[in-house]
């Protein structure tokens, strides 16, 4: 058979091998390599078959549970390198190990979100500061592959600011971009990046910012975030995750109360950024000082704020944090049950242009 029909022999052997592994091998729940949950075998339901949902999930299941999945992913990234591609899975390989999101266009959601935010600015009675934080490539263009035709975030933020009332920090970020303001392997800014925003906010709120050195900063090595999980670059230059664990009275999520805003158990996992604020939670409250009449800050945010909030807590008695993507309640209830001295809306550019949850700003 190998002599007369070699291809049939080889491919059949390969197919049998793959099928055997597929049927006998274990079903994985989480892929640490990709940092995401994998699709599980869907249960057979007649209505799911009729509307085609079962087929779609089953295909995802086959893909996600494919034998040696991680190996195939590495083979693909090897092939992309052979093809001398400057990217993989929508992540650009920048210079000095920087990975960047390949963001080419706005979204149909963008104009809606701009409107929601503008309406929100008019609606709130407490003093509001809104910020749209540019992503790493916009602040670190020197590390981008030449000619990268990415969205001009700075230009767009400037344009949007004409109809919004944004606290702009792009030039401060650009001025400080010799520091590591963004992670190389993750879509977030670093503590240093967030500190730039912190000083600007203090100026806005007329409070004295504390110097960076006065915070007790801790580090965890080998941080490989979301960009890395998608891009699988050949040369791995891990980041060092920096975090602050400020002294607080309590951190409340629903009925649960924690003594710290940092979930240290996450630091040893692949989801290191999940340590901040115990992950992205719909509604949580940091009690800094328990007083009769607390000064209160409301932060409506995405995960960029997770490294900014530790700087802010020392200036308020209470910080209420709402992540609209995970928030099922209503914003008006939050606004009515508490009085706020300051409200901060903060999202990163990439999330802001596509976040489908900002309609909740219309409370």
Partner 1 sequence: MVFSSLIFLFRFLPMALLLLFLTPKKYRNLLLFTLSLIFYAWGEVRYIFIMFISVVLDYFTSQGIKKYQHHPWIPKAMLMISIVGNLGMLFFFKYLGFVGSLFSLDLPTLTLPLGISFYTFQTMSYTIDVYRGKVEAEDNIIDFGAFVCLFPQLIAGPIVKYSQIAYELKHRVLTMDKFESGLKLFLLGLASKVLLANNIGMMWDDIIRLPISSLSTVTAWLGTMAFGFQIYFDFSGYSLMAIGLGSMLGFNFPQNFNYPYISKSMTEFWNRWHMTLGSWFKEYVYIPLGGNRKGTTRQIFNLLIVWFLTGFWHGAAFNFILWGLFFFVLLTIEKLVLFRWLNQHPFLSRLYFIFFILIGWAVFAISDLTLLSQYLTAMFALQSSNQWIYFISNYGVVLLFCLIFSTDIPKKIVRSVTFPALETSMVTMLFLFSIAYLVDSSYNPFLYFRF
Helix (H) or strand (E) holding 103: none
Helix (H) or strand (E) holding 111: helix 108-123
- Among residues 58 and 205, whose Cβ is nearest to partner 1? 58
Tokens 């910080």 belong to which residue? 319
- Among residues 62 and 356, whose Cβ is nearest to partner 1? 62
Tokens representing 235?
A: 């040369």
Euclidean distance between CA atoms 234 and 238, whole angstroms: 12
Euclidean distance between CA atoms 351 and 343, whole angstroms: 19
Kindly state whether residue 73 participates in binding partner 1, applying the rule CB under 8 A.
yes
Kindly state whether residue 59 participates in binding partner 1, applying the rule CB under 8 A.
yes
- Closest approach, Cβ 189 to partner 1, in A, equals 25
- Closest approach, Cβ 171 to partner 1, in A, equals 23
- Closest approach, Cβ 74 to partner 1, in A, equals 8
How many Cβ atoms are within 10 Å of 172's Cβ, its own excluded? 15
- Among residues 47 and 213, whose Cβ is nearest to partner 1? 47
Sites for partner 1 among residues 103-162 (CB under 8 A): 104-105, 145-149
Tokens 């945010």 belong to which residue? 301
Helix (H) or strand (E) holding 149: none
For the chain, count helices (H), then strands (E). Answer: 13, 14
Bridge partner list, 345? 130, 300
- Among residues 18 and 123, whose Cβ is nearest to partner 1? 18
CB 259 within 8 A of CB 250: yes
Kindly state whether residue 263 participates in binding partner 1, applying the rule CB under 8 A.
no
Judged by CB under 8 A, the stretch of 57-65, 134-142, 192-200, 319-327 that binds partner 1 is: 57-65
- Among residues 76 and 240, whose Cβ is nearest to partner 1? 76
Kindly state whether residue 19 participates in binding partner 1, applying the rule CB under 8 A.
yes
Kindly state whether residue 79 participates in binding partner 1, applying the rule CB under 8 A.
yes
- Among residues 104 and 359, whose Cβ is nearest to partner 1? 104
Kindly state whether residue 85 participates in binding partner 1, applying the rule CB under 8 A.
yes
Kindly tell me the sign of the dihedral angle through the C-alpha atoms of 299, 301, 304, 306: positive
Nearest to 140 by CA among 227, 241, 232, 234: 227
Kindly state whether residue 52 participates in binding partner 1, applying the rule CB under 8 A.
yes
Contact footprint for partner 1 (CB under 8 A): 4-8, 10-11, 14-15, 18-19, 22, 49-52, 55, 58-59, 62-63, 66, 69, 72-73, 75-77, 79, 82-87, 89-90, 104-105, 145-149
């Amino acid at each position: 058979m190998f002599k007369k029909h070699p291809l049939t022999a080889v491919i059949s052997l390969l197919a049998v091998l793959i099928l055997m592994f597929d049927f006998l091998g274990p079903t994985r729940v989480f892929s640490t390599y990709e940092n995401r949950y994998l699709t599980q075998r869907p249960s057979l339901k007649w209505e799911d078959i009729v509307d085609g949902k079962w087929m779609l999930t089953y295909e995802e299941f086959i893909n996600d549970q494919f034998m040696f999945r991680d190996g195939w992913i590495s083979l693909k990234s090897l092939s992309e390198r052979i093809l001398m591609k400057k990217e993989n899975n929508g992540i650009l390989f920048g210079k000095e190990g920087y990975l960047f999101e390949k963001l080419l266009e706005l979204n149909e959601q963008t104009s809606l979100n701009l409107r929601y935010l503008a309406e929100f600015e008019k609606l709130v009675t407490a003093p509001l500061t809104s910020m749209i934080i540019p992503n790493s490539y916009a602040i670190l263009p020197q590390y981008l592959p030449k000619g990268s035709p990415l969205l001009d975030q700075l230009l767009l933020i400037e344009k949007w600011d004409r109809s919004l009332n944004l606290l702009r920090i792009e030039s401060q970020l650009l001025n400080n971009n010799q520091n590591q303001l963004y992670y190389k392997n993750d879509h977030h800014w670093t503590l240093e990046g967030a500190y730039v925003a912190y000083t600007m906010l203090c100026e806005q709120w007329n409070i004295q910012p504390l110097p960076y050195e006065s915070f007790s900063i801790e580090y965890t090595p080998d941080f490989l975030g979301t960009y890395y999980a998608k891009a699988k670059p050949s040369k791995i230059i891990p980041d060092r995750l920096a975090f602050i664990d400020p002294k607080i009275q309590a951190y409340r999520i629903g009925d649960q109360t924690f003594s710290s805003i940092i979930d240290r158990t996450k630091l040893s996992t692949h989801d290191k950024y999940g340590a901040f604020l115990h992950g992205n939670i719909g509604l949580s409250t940091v009690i800094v000082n328990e007083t009769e009449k607390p000064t209160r800050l409301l932060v409506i945010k995405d995960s960029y704020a997770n490294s900014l909030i530790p700087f802010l807590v020392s200036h308020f008695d209470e910080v209420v944090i709402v992540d609209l993507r995970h928030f099922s309640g209503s914003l008006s209830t939050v606004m009515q049950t508490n009085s706020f001295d300051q409200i901060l809306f903060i999202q990163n550019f990439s999330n802001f242009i596509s976040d489908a949850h900002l309609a909740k700003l219309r409370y």
